[in-house]
Amino acid sequence: MKDQDSNLIDVNHGTQLHKIHGDQKIFEKELENVFGRSWLFLTHESIIPNHGDYIVTKMGTDEVIVSRQENGDIKAFLNVCRHRGAQLCPNEAGNAKGFVCSYHGWGYGNTGELQAVPFDKEVYGGLLDKCKNSLHEVAKVQSFHGFIYGCFDEDAPSLDEYFGDLKWYLEPYFEHSGGLELIGPPARCLIRANWKCPSENFVGDAYHVGWTHASALRTGQSVFTPLASNSTPPTEGLGLQVTTKYGSGLGVLWDAYAGIHDSSLIDDMMQWACTKEQQLAEKIGVVRARIYRSHLNTTIFPNNSFLTGSGVFKTWQPIDKDTTEVYTWAMVEKDMPEELKQRIAISVQRTFGVAGYWESDDNDNMESETYMTKGFQTKNKQLNAQMGIGNDVYNGEYPGVVGESAIGETSYRGYYRAYGAIVNSNSWHEIEDKSSTWADILTNAKTK
């Protein structure tokens, strides 16, 4: 079944038109319907722990201030003065009771309320309604075990509903481990790639690891080194592919907690994980404890990706249709020794930071995918995401729509099914209508 409003996404046959990675009209539609309606990562509670702490980040192409309130809540506002639209806060982070515009001096509390206007009585005659000129507030801000997300659309489902089946896989690491924190500030760089290229890669592409990263695997001697140059074919029982109603998904590589880290970290990380797995088994069961000790490559739709165990945490912020700003943090468990946290943080930047050797491998491919959409004939040709199609199951042993192989494209198909529904809908009511049979659509998909 092709999406009723577009031929971009053919859900039933696992294909997409290449133009999704470089078309201006599609990009503009994404800003309105995808970034305007989806839950987007803002920050972690560990980064703004105290009253007045704030960071400036992006939601789509809009800058927002994310600020800790006196009562402990977190609010987010467009970083734009209500007077003439100047940037309100020029800093990336800090602590402030409020914000004052450098243009005309309008002052706002960190609650978003307009509190001070120069010569209010003299030039406005005391008639300016400050209540109607508060900062534009992001409609919803909620937390998933300390990870703060925001949504512009007040009709969106709760963050808990949005994560859906994915929670079952994430909670062993995000909650039951004792909690996580991000080590920052984030490394930032620009890549000449459409934002969906890295998002789709992290949602479920284990296929490229042995080929794209062959040199890095041999040099770094990680737990994935046996995959180098595809010298070891995938076997049954290596892992899973999982997708969910709203497009978030992941791949599971069993028992590979240390992930991309090289031999200098593997023993210490696996010892840490094995000890905690034994503790968790009594609390959440053997299967979910094993999930904790495994490696999950994940994308929270649309543009937040991470690798558990490896500790890589990213957002892919769109600048334009073929430029993305990449934010990279290290993600660590709160109760880890500080020395181990720092070693992981250094390794994250060495592998997936601005000049990381895994990151460089990936960026070449992401930029190539995007550049090739400039071809007149090429942009209207189909991309293939059919690996494992016809074998996906729902209501099986594991939550979500599941492909029972580590190497597959179940998560790709789920990501783009949701993308097609969201980008072509004008409300959450429409999105829900198009998603009412989402699992049946995916499990009945087949090649042409």
Give 303-361 pLDDT, tens digit per residue: 999 999 999 999 999 999 999 999 999 999 999 999 999 999 999 999 999 989 889 99
pLDDT, position 231: 67
Write down the catalytic residue from 83, 136, 145, 208. 208
pLDDT, position 3: 43
pLDDT, position 1: 40
Amino acid at 29: K
The answer to whether residue 51 is catalytic is: no
Is-contact 220 264, C-beta < 8 A?
A: no
The answer to whether residue 208 is catalytic is: yes
Neighbours of 309 (CB within 10 A): 25
Burial class (CB in 10 A: 0-12, 13-18, 19+), 133: middle
Write down the catalytic residue from 104, 320, 335, 433. 104
Instruction: With a cut of 70, list the residues of the chain below it in pLDDT.
Output: 1-6, 220-221, 228-235
pTM of the predicted model, to two decimals?
A: 0.95
Token pair 């499990």 in the structure block, residue? 443
The answer to whether residue 213 is catalytic is: yes
Write down the catalytic residue from 21, 44, 176, 213. 213
CA atoms of 302 and 27, how far apart (whole Å): 13
Write down the catalytic residue from 23, 205, 322, 392. 205
The answer to whether residue 104 is catalytic is: yes
Closest Cα partner for 110 from 148, 151, 54, 64? 54
pLDDT, position 2: 45
The answer to whether residue 205 is catalytic is: yes
Write down the catalytic residue from 23, 53, 362, 392. 362
